[in-house]
Structure 1
Amino acid sequence: QGFERTAKQNFGGGNTAWEERKLSKYETSEIRLMEIVEGLCESSSFECNHMVEEHEEQLETWWFKRKTKHPDLHKWFCIETIKVCCPKGTFGRDCNSCVGGSERPCHGNGVCDGDGTRGGDGKCSCNHGYTGEFCLDCTDGHFSAARNDTFSLCTECHTSCKTCTGATNQDCHECKEGWREDDQEACVDVDECSGEPSPCREDQYCLNADGSYSCRACDNVCSGCTGAGADRCQSCAGGYHRSEGTCADVDECSQSDPVCTEDNQKCINTHGSYMCVCTGGYEEKDGKCVHTVPPG
Structure 2
Amino acid sequence: MAPGPAPRPPLPAPRAALLLLLLQLLLLPPPPAMGAGGRRRLACSTCRGIVDRFKQGLADTEKKNFGGGNTAWEEKTLSKYESSEIRLVLITENLCDSSNFECNNMVEEHEEHIEKWWFKLKKKYPDLFKWFCIETLEVCCPPGTYGPDCLACRGGSERPCHGNGRCDGDGTRGGDGTCSCNKEYTGEFCLDCSSGYYSSLKNDTHSVCTACHAACKTCTGSSNKDCQDCKEGWIKNEEAACVDLDECASSPCKDEQYCLNTDGSFSCKACHASCVGCTGEGSDKCKSCASGYMKEDEKCTDVDECNLSEKVCTRENEDCVNTSGSYKCVCSEGFEDKDGTCVQTVKTGK
TM-score interval, normalised by the smaller of the two chains:
0.7 to 0.9
Q: State whether residues 11 and 19 of structure 1, in contact with CA within 8 Å, keep that contact through their aligned partners in structure 2.
A: no
My pick for the range that moved more, 162-171 or 36-45, is: 36-45
- Aligned 1:261-280 pairs, distance under 5 A: 261-280=314-333
Q: 1:154 to 1:245 in 2, by over 3 A?
A: same
Amino acid aligned to 1:149: D
- Structure 1 residue 139: Cα displacement: 0.8
Note if contact 1:10-1:26 (Cα within 8 Å) is conserved in structure 2: no
After superposition, the CA RMSD in angstroms is 2.8
Partner of 1:217 in structure 2? 270
Alpha-carbon separation, structure 2, partners of 1:220 and 1:263: 32
Kindly tell me the number of residue pairs found equivalent between the two proteins.
Answer: 294
State the alpha-carbon separation in 2 of the partners of residues 288 and 122 from structure 1: 86
* Unaligned ranges ≥5, structure 2: 1-51
CA distance in 1, matches of 2:146, 2:272: 62
Does 1:103 find its partner at 2:158? Answer: yes
Change (3 A) 1:31 1:220: farther
Q: Where do residues 62-77 of structure 1 align in structure 2 (5 Å cutoff)?
A: 62-77=117-132
Matched residue, 1:141:
196
- The alignment's TM-score, normalised by the length of structure 1, stands at 0.87
Check 1:7–1:159 CA distance in 2 against 1; reply closer, same or farther (3 A cut). same
The answer on whether the counterparts of 2:61 and 2:87 sit within 8 Å (CA) in structure 1 is no
Q: How do residues 1-296 of structure 1 correspond to structure 2 at under 5 angstroms?
A: 3=55, 6=59, 9-11=62-64, 20-21=75-76, 24-30=79-85, 32-33=87-88, 37=92, 46-193=101-248, 195-197=249-251, 199-295=252-348
Superposed displacement of residue 46, structure 1? 4.6
Q: 1:46 to 1:170 in 2, by over 3 A?
A: farther
Residues 45 and 8 of structure 1, relative CA distance in 2, 3 Å threshold:
closer
Q: Does the CA contact (< 8 Å) of 2:144 and 2:157 recur in 1?
A: yes
Compute the displacement of 1:184 (Å): 1.2
Preserved CA contact (<8 Å) 2:146 2:153: yes
Paired-residue identity, %: 63
Higher RCO (CA-CA < 8 Å; seq separation 6+)? 2
Task: Give, in whole Å, the separation in 2 of the partners of 1:181 and 1:292.
Answer: 74
Q: Would you tell me which structure has more helix in proportion to its own residues?
A: 2
